[in-house]
Amino acid sequence: MTECSVIHQTFSIERTYPATPARVFDAFATKEAKEAWADSSDAAPTAEAAAHTEFDFRPGGRERFGFEYDDKIYRYDAIYYDIVPDQRIVYSYEMYADGARISVSVATIEFAKSGDGTALTWTEQGAYLDGIDSPDPAGLRKGGTEEMLEGLLSYLEAPAVG
């Protein structure tokens, strides 16, 4: 029998982007925009995951996807609770590795005008389960979020298409 345990960890990341709060917020609001900046080149989508992908950006809506990384199949399953356009997004999500729930987290993303741009604050509170995932502040969860936010900067700095 696997030992049952939980470790709690909170991290916060602050970034400033050269775009209005509306434009930064909009990067989270559609599947196409989010896929353009949040995709990790290290994670490969799987055929099974593609069949279970969902993006419904509204309070009560869900976001789901899966990918393969380091020979494991991961699944992300989120529900949005609070969305205030151009100001705030609050959601919770579960992460699974090879079918086992490894963590449950609550994330809050705040957008505020800062000079000619936007100050974004990402705060995440996680419960890491049974020693499968690590809350190491320099580990995958915070590091992966920082990598995504770098992708967001590249997305926002790219010339608009259309």
How much is the pLDDT for 43?
56
Task: Report H helices in the chain.
Answer: 21-29, 31-38, 47-51, 140-157
Tokens of 40: 């990790």
Tokens of 31: 């599947």
How much is the pLDDT for 121?
98
Does 20 score more than 90 pLDDT?
yes
CATH topology of domain 6-40+86-157: Alpha-D-Glucose-1,6-Bisphosphate; Chain A, domain 4 (3.30.530)
How far CA 115 is from CA of 18, 20, 69, 112, 122, in Å, comes to 9, 9, 39, 10, 19
How much is the pLDDT for 123?
97
* Residue type for position 86: D
Average pLDDT over residues 57-85: 94
* Residue type for position 110: E
User: For 87, what's the count of Cα atoms within 13 Å in the CB-facing half-sphere?
Assistant: 4
Does 160 score more than 90 pLDDT?
no
The predicted-structure confidence for 36-64, as pLDDT tens digits, reads as follows: 998 755 555 566 655 678 999 999 999 99
How much is the pLDDT for 88?
98
Per-residue confidence band for 71, with pLDDT thresholds at 50, 70 and 90: confident
The predicted-structure confidence for 97-152, as pLDDT tens digits, reads as follows: 999 999 999 999 999 999 999 999 999 999 999 887 766 655 678 888 999 999 99
Instruction: List CB contacts of 159: < 8 A, sequence separation 6 or more.
Output: none
Give the whole-angstrom CA distance, residue 137 versus residue 27: 25
How much is the pLDDT for 52?
73
Instruction: List CB contacts of 28: < 8 A, sequence separation 6 or more.
Output: 34, 57, 89, 109
Give the whole-angstrom CA distance, residue 90 versus residue 76: 16
